[in-house]
Amino acid sequence: MSGLTDLYQEVIVDHGQRPRNFHKLKDANLSAEGFNPLCGDRITIYLRLDGNVIKDIGFEGEGCAISKASSSLMTVSLKNKTKTDAKALFQKFHSMVKGEPDNSSHAIDLGKLVVLSGVKEYPVRVKCATLAWHTLLAALEAQKEVVSTE
Ligand code: ZN
């Protein structure tokens, strides 16, 4: 068990120190900012949505290792996923980090996101781990408004 925890820890440290997709997207058509006052984490998410598919995703921001690692892992997980997939993945991820029973479909694979499962032992950190996801949803919601004005 501790071997697995060490492995998870390694992945978190790696993504926290060398976050993937840590840049602004020049051709983003959606973005949103998020702030976690409990910890001081700030993030901006950039999305390039093509129809219903997230073709590219990037982020900028400052925050603790957990928020950075979670943002990084999220961007890696969401490329080429549909909006529906992204929301389903967040639901499953949210249950995991909150230590709540998972009622979502078993067909959804959390993949590398499982490395953040240990967060459930630290309730204060749950917001650090979910900030990127809440910000993502805000960005996706904005899309609806854009669509309605076209
Ligand atoms: Zn934090």
In this model, does residue 2 exceed pLDDT 70? no
Q: Which pTM was predicted?
A: 0.90
Domain ranges within the chain, ordered by starting residue = 2-143
Helix (H) or strand (E) holding 147: helix 123-149
93-111 confidence digits (pLDDT tens): 999 999 998 877 667 889 9
> Three-state SS across 120-137?
HHCHHHHHHHHHHHHHHH
> At 145, is the pLDDT very low, low, confident or very high (cuts 50, 70, 90)?
very low
Measure 36 CA to ligand 1 centroid, in angstroms.
7
CA–centroid distance, residue 25 to ligand 1 (Å): 23
For residues 133-146, average pLDDT: 78
> What number does CATH give the domain 2-143?
3.90.1010.10
* Dist. CA 2 → ligand 1 center (Å): 24
pLDDT digits (tens, 9 = 90+) for 48-57: 999 999 999 9
- Confidence band, pLDDT 50/70/90 cuts, at residue 4: confident
Split at pLDDT 50, 70, 90, the class of 5 is: confident
CA of 39 to the centre of ligand 1 (A): 5
By mean pLDDT, which of 19-23, 80-84, 106-110 is the weakest? 106-110
